[in-house]
């Protein structure tokens, strides 16, 4: 999701242009994600959308009528990375927690 939300995500200087307000937010992508989530939830009661979002964007799981992106859950990539490193080790080499 981050690569959609930020115009400068993984881009060098000169490879992107600021939005109309001079910022790096991609408001078209925000609108798309809000509309996508609102439509998915309206048409498919009981489903959950999940965002893999690695930045501190405010409102990823806030409802769209409150200005959020409307995702049901946000995947915690830091936890995932740490967990994968932990379980990749042989049990005898894992630290006790």
pLDDT in tens, the chain (97 residues): 999 999 999 999 999 999 999 999 999 999 999 999 999 999 999 999 999 988 889 999 999 999 999 999 998 888 888 889 999 999 888 876 5
Domain interval for residue 13: 2-93
pTM: 0.81
Give the whole-angstrom CA distance, residue 35 versus residue 41: 10
What tokens does 35 get?
A: 């509309």
pLDDT at res. 33: 99
3, 50, 67 from 16: Cα distances, Å: 12, 27, 25
Domain count across the chain: 1
């Amino acid at each position: 999701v981050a690569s959609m939300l930020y115009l400068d995500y993984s881009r060098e200087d000169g490879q992107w242009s600021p939005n109309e307000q001079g910022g790096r937010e991609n408001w078209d992508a925000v609108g798309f994600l809000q509309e996508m989530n609102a439509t998915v939830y309206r048409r498919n009661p009981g489903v959950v959308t999940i965002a893999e979002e690695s930045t501190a964007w405010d409102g990823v799981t806030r409802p769209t009528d409150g200005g959020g992106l409307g995702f049901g859950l946000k995947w915690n990539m830091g936890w995932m990375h740490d967990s994968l490193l932990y379980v990749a080790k042989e049990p005898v080499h894992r630290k006790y927690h």
